[in-house]
Amino acid sequence: MFFDFNKFPLRTLKSLLRSSEKSIFSFIYRTPNPPVLHIQVCNYVDVYMKWKKDSYYDSIEHIHHSIQLKPVIALKNCIAQDPNGCIPISAVSKRGIELGVPMKVARFLRKYPSIFEEFTGPEYNLPWFRLTSEAALIHREEERVYEEFKEDLRARLKKMIMMSRANVLPLKIIKGMQWYLGLPDDFLQYPEQNLDASFKFVDMAEGLKGLAVESEEKVWSMMQWNAMKRGLYFGGSMEAIEFPLFPSKGLRLRRKIENWLNEFQKLPYVSPYEKLTNLDPNSDIAEKRLVGLLHELFSLFVAHSAERKTLFCLKKHLGLPQKVHKAFERHPHIFYLSFRNKTCTVILKEAYRTRSTINEHPLLRVRKKYIKLMKESDVILRKRRVNNRFSDENSPKLDLDLDYVDEQGCEMAKCS
């Protein structure tokens, strides 16, 4: 299209050129705004979504048996750390709460004869316990995994601390998350062996001891790494990364929520390792950062799952909202809530799909072997009950008729 310059006055023509020049250069030199300068609005439609049961996630054994496995591992470590490889029941009978045992320790140990072997001790006829040969074999494999993947486990701990507001977490919270991160029970007892120079023990408020991380290196989240591998992300602050969605069978979102989710996926991705304090907590972009933080946290966990109540202790230090549990309910395509074992367990769906980019950790394979060995205890105890019932049926019954015994005794006395 060509313009006839004779039809335009000279003053009008200059003003048009000046305005077009300004618009062209403003477009060329326009700098991207950080996510916090976006229009922070909340378009989420608060519509009730009915929870949908998914038998696939409810049947993952190593997740739902972890409640029993955790005290088994704790007692196993007590026995394995003893120089003699065996302990009397008195060594652990008073430590049930500390080790997370839900019943009397002796009864719990006898519940798993495939792992704990009972024998009579050298003194006072006390019951002693040692590991079975099968349990000892898995324990040695577990020790090798800890040694080979020490750097990986250290990196998981470092990332969780770097997601906090001040790059520091109380030691008591870290100890409570050790099971999920895959750290051994004595990991923090030997800092010279397990921690590098970036970790510092510090004093926190209210007399708490904490572990801090001092590092200037750029940390990428799991979402960012996967997007980079697919060529969908280049490290910019304004780039959008879509969360992988895995709808459960029969679960359908309402039209309004589905439309909101489509727009939600197009928002810029905010890394959980970026310290942003001026986000409106009620905005959609703050919601996307929250989901990204939870996604990264569960990616760090060995089993990519955790009891929901254990996450509440992280709210203050990770800057999570008071009703963080609502995020799991609003995003059923990303997280699944299981209500087995009379508790609520959050599961990251992505980790248990065939096209998942999250690989299974070797420590998880070791835990599966422990669970398989635990299930063999049921067979052993069942055989014992059958044998005891059979022996009771064949044993001679005592005649408890005292009058008959007295008469027989008198007759025998007369005969003698």
Using one digit for the tens of pLDDT, what is the confidence trace for 172-182?
999 999 999 99
Same-domain status, 86 and 160: no
Domain membership of residue 174 as a residue range: 150-217
Same-domain status, 224 and 190: no
State the pLDDT confidence band at 99, using cuts at 50, 70 and 90. Answer: very high
Same-domain status, 211 and 257: no
Look at residues 318, 243, 315, 235 and name the one whose alpha carbon lies nearest to residue 276: 318
Q: Give the C-alpha separation, 318 to 302, whole Å.
A: 20
Q: What is the CATH number of the domain that holds 184?
A: 1.10.10
Does pLDDT of 26 surpass 80? no
Which helix (H) or strand (E) segment is 73 a member of? Answer: helix 66-80
Rg over CA atoms, the chain: 32
Counted domains in the chain: 3
Mean pLDDT of 101-117: 96
Phi, psi of 364 (to 5 degrees): -65, -35
Same-domain status, 93 and 169: no
- SS3 (DSSP) at 307: strand
Same-domain status, 343 and 248: yes
> How would you class 308 by CB atoms within 10 Å of its CB: exposed for 0-12, middle for 13-18, buried for 19 or more?
middle
User: pLDDT, tens digit, for every residue of 236-255?
Assistant: 777 899 999 998 887 777 78
Same-domain status, 352 and 270: yes
Same-domain status, 233 and 180: no
Which of these three, 217, 243, 258, is where a domain ends? 217
Q: What integer pLDDT is reported at residue 73 of this predicted model?
A: 97
Look at residues 173, 142, 145, 147 and name the one whose alpha carbon lies nearest to residue 160: 173
pTM score, two decimals? 0.81
Same-domain status, 259 and 189: no
Same-domain status, 228 and 338: yes
Look at residues 308, 303, 297 and name the one whose alpha carbon lies nearest to residue 343: 308
> How would you class 63 by CB atoms within 10 Å of its CB: exposed for 0-12, middle for 13-18, buried for 19 or more?
buried
Which helix (H) or strand (E) segment is 166 a member of? Answer: none
Does residue 21 belong to any structural domain of this protein? Answer: no
Percent of the chain past pLDDT 70, that is, above it, reads 81
Mean pLDDT of 224-231: 90
Does residue 300 belong to any structural domain of this protein? Answer: yes
Q: Give the C-alpha separation, 57 to 46, whole Å.
A: 26
Same-domain status, 105 and 154: no
Which of these three, 360, 392, 409, is where a domain ends? 360
Which helix (H) or strand (E) segment is 9 a member of? Answer: none
Same-domain status, 208 and 225: no
Q: Which amino acid is at 249?
A: K
Does residue 144 belong to any structural domain of this protein? Answer: no
Give 31's contacts (C-beta < 8 A, 6+ positions apart).
Answer: none
Same-domain status, 179 and 205: yes
Contact call for residues 214 and 9 (beta carbons, < 8 A): no
Q: Give the C-alpha separation, 244 to 224, whole Å.
A: 12
Which of these three, 195, 217, 239, is where a domain ends? 217
